[in-house]
Chains A and B, each alone.
Chain A
Amino acid sequence: MSESISEAAAPEVAAVGLPSVRGVGAAPRKRNDFLYYGLRNKKLVFGLGLELILVLVALIGPMLAKYQPLQTTLPLQHPGSQHWLGTDLTGYDMYSQLTNGLRESYLIGALGAAFAAVVGMALGFIAGWRGGWVDELVQMITNVIVMIPSLVLLVVIGSYLSSRSILFEGAFIGLTTWPWVARAVRAQTFSLRGREYVELARLSGKRPVSIILKEIAPNMASYLFLAVILLFGSSMLIAASYDFLGLGPSGTVSIGWILNQAENGSALLYHLWWWFVPPVAVLTAMVAALLIANVGLDEVFNPKLREQ
């Protein structure tokens, strides 16, 4: 009766915030329930609301800027009516830089999450569905990727590349974080595979791809959604680290890059708080809003977690 090791270790992703393995099934008739509880879930409403505001700022903010992000004006201006968020040592307008950085963060978040989701889901589904040596192999690859320190890898790669694009950064992040998705999807597929309706579909001779797409994927839609949200947030954080180290996209303004400039420009020494506090606060809010919405959504999808 002993469960396999892989199953025992399955809920691991929970530790990074994903829900652990459990029955998920979002029957359509429950849609109304989701909406009802969704609108009443304080965490979800707060998280989504905050995120929405920030997305709007990212979309509209740069248009309102009086200066280009890399246009030199008067240096070291305090925040005020001329420069809403002040200027840095070079004279760059921090409002313009921050709103543009916000945009880039969302872009990177989306790219990273998309790459990770596609690779992770494909491999996770295949491993969970086929089992056997295919599963073994995919797990092995997953575990190996997890053990290669991605930041150091990027340092090595980055130091040889003369210029890097946003797409490159997004792809790199996605291609080093997909194991989180793959593990979760694999475990879920594994447990769903044994369910009656999947069994039925299989016996009726449906093609695996169509079973995965039509029977399994919809049943873990809520789960995947949560996973992608988290990836979105972690991609933005990872990108901030890369950009801070000067490994980010060349010639663009990102939040990590602003922090890098602040560090190099001795912002701490001269107490130029407006140079780095707003970017840190904004990025933290962006990610925290996602995390909060994520937990809220989890409670909506999973009645047992609702507050009592």
Chain B
Amino acid sequence: MSVNVQNLSVAYRSRLGDVTAVDDVSFSLADGEIMGLAGESGSGKSTLGNALVFLDPRMKATGGKVTVDGRDLPIADNGAMRHKRMTEVSLVPQYAMSALTPTRKIGRLINDLLKSHHIKNRDEVLTELKRRLALIGLKEEVLGKYSFELSGGMRQRVTIIMSTLLNPSLLIADEVTSALDVSTQRAVGEMLLEFRDRGYVKSAIAITHDLSILAQIADSIAIMYAGRLAERAPTSVIVDNPLHPYTQALLNSLPEVGVRHDQALLTGIPGRPPSLANPPAGCRFRERCPFAFDKCTQTPPFEEIRPGHLVACWKVSQEQTAVTAGAGQEQA
């Protein structure tokens, strides 16, 4: 396992107390795996992704443990994290369009970053940088340009190249396609695949609220709802045979491929996600779930229903026990 996240909780400090935006989340990634992380806006996807790379002062990790390549990732220790950023874990932020400083040329910016990391063979890295630019069809000239001279798609690609330049083990790609038009979305998605295939990144988490793009690039998909993981399974399983009622609703409400959707995602299901400042006990999807029953007032465990398929739903785990019990009876 190249990445292992156990019981991670992350909170924002706010005046009404902590807002736990990521609550007891566990998952792991194999070498070479791209995991899609999907869910409505505000479900905590970015918080989860950011926490793995850079906890800003308003956030704090309230529990959990992260390892990358078998080594501890001290996410709460900003100082210890500094040199692990970009080299072990890296981030293409959701705000990529405004992430590049306006007063320095891209090349200079990258060079300063390398210096800041005390990279010795900087020339080699810069040669590699040019190779990678060429690979995705960007001219070397972009290094001599300022961010505002680049189109949105170019900025997005430049940030991906920058963030992956030192071959991190884990890349968080937060909404890298959301701000782009459809054809550029596809190209950027393919770029991620290519970078993974070439080993520029060992594994990646692709965050999006757009399931259709994940179907194209992700090996597995995790569905997040109100700060918790609802379901996690290989992409084909999620797409063809989702078990969690929320995943099902999400897929049912999915319009044609490529159409963007955000808040209007769950028009099929009335209601909105609960507030994270003061979430209800039990299953957080309860109020909107057509299958909710009395047991759902307790928090459902995130269980492996089948190998590689984890679900947090009482209905699913009950059916599962019924099936296995039934199977057991038959055998008896």
Contacts and interface: CB of A to CB of B under 8 A. Distances in A.
A50 B83 CA distance: 47
A33 B148 CA distance: 35
B149 A2 contact: yes
Contacts of A36: 15
Contact of A1 (B15, B57, B58, B148): B148
Contacts of A37: 15
Contacts, number: 12
Contacts of A308: 57-58
B148 A2 contact: yes
A33 B15 contact: yes
Nearest to A37: B15
Interface in B1-23: 15
A75 to B, nearest CB: 58
A3 B149 CA distance: 9
A37 B15 CA distance: 8
Interface string A29-42: 00001001100000
Contacts of A3: 148
A197 to B, nearest CB: 15
Interface in A269-308: 308
B270 to A, nearest CB: 22
Contacts of B113: none
Contacts of A33: 15
12 contacts: A1-B148, A1-B149, A1-B150, A1-B151, A2-B148, A2-B149, A3-B148, A33-B15, A36-B15, A37-B15, A308-B57, A308-B58
A131 to B, nearest CB: 19
Interface residues of A, number: 7
Interface in B143-189: 148-151
Query: Which bucket holds chain B's interface residue count?
Result: under 10
Nearest to A308: B57
Interface string B30-58: 00000000000000000000000000011
Nearest to A303: B58
Interface of A: 1-3, 33, 36-37, 308
B27 to A, nearest CB: 30
Nearest to B57: A308
A1 B158 CA distance: 15
A102 B281 CA distance: 59
A190 to B, nearest CB: 16
A2 B146 CA distance: 10
A36 B14 CA distance: 11
Nearest to A304: B58
Contacts of B148: 1-3
B19 to A, nearest CB: 13
A1 B97 CA distance: 12
B222 to A, nearest CB: 30
A1 B100 CA distance: 14
A20 B30 CA distance: 45
Interface in B45-104: 57-58
Contacts of B151: 1
A1 B57 CA distance: 33
Given A1-B148, A2-B149, A37-B15, 8 more contacts: A1-B149, A1-B151, A2-B148, A3-B148, A33-B15, A36-B15, A308-B57, A308-B58
Nearest to A40: B15
A283 B189 CA distance: 62
Contacts of A1: 148-151
A162 to B, nearest CB: 53
A219 B149 CA distance: 30
Nearest to B145: A1
* In the A-B complex, the 8 residue pairs with the closest CB atoms: A308-B57, A36-B15, A1-B148, A3-B148, A2-B148, A1-B151, A1-B149, A2-B149
Contacts of B57: 308
B13 to A, nearest CB: 9
B238 to A, nearest CB: 32
A308 B58 CA distance: 8
Contacts of B15: 33, 36-37
A2 B147 CA distance: 9
B297 to A, nearest CB: 29
Nearest to B152: A1
Contacts of A2: 148-149
A306 B1 CA distance: 40
A28 B229 CA distance: 33
Contacts of B150: 1
Contacts of B149: 1-2
Contacts of B58: 308
Nearest to A32: B15
A1 B142 CA distance: 14
A36 B57 CA distance: 20
